[in-house]
Amino acid sequence: MLVINTAFMQANLALSTPDGREFFCDLDANTKHSENVLRLIDKLCQDAKIDVLDVQDVSIVIGPGSFTGLRIGAAIAKALACVNKNLRLIPMSSLELMAYIHCKQAKVPGDFVCALNALSNLYFVAYFDKNGIKLKEAQLVKGEEFEKIACQKVILKGDLSPKEVRNCAEVEITGKTLLEFAQKLAAEGVCCDVGQLNPTYLRLSQAEDQLLKKNENFPQNS
| Upstream peptide bond of 64 is cis (omega within 30 degrees of 0) | yes
The identity of residue 33, as a single letter, is H
Taking only the tens place, the pLDDT of each residue in 27-55 is 886 778 888 999 999 999 999 999 999 99
Q: Where are the domains of the chain?
A: 2-93+173-209, 96-171
pTM comes to 0.90
Neighbours of 78 (CB within 10 A): 17
Q: How far apart are CA 118 and CA 182, in angstroms?
A: 24
The residue count of the chain comes to 222
The model's confidence at residue 219, banded by pLDDT at 50, 70 and 90, is: low
How many CA atoms are closer than 13 Å to the CA of 63, on its beta-carbon side? 23
Taking only the tens place, the pLDDT of each residue in 118-169 is 999 999 999 999 999 999 999 999 999 999 999 999 999 989 887 778 789 9
The model's confidence at residue 217, banded by pLDDT at 50, 70 and 90, is: low
Q: Identify which has the larger pLDDT, 158 or 222.
A: 158
| CA angle 53–58–61, rounded 5-degree value | 145
Whole-number pLDDT of residue 211? 52
Contacts of 170 (CB under 8 A, 6+ apart): 154, 155, 156, 157
Residue range 96-171, CATH number: 3.30.420.40
2-93+173-209 and 96-171 have identical folds: yes
Contacts of 149 (CB under 8 A, 6+ apart): 113, 115, 125
Q: Is the dihedral of CA 165, 169, 175, 181 positive or negative?
A: negative
| CA angle 79–98–194, rounded 5-degree value | 20
The CATH class that applies to domain 2-93+173-209 reads alpha beta
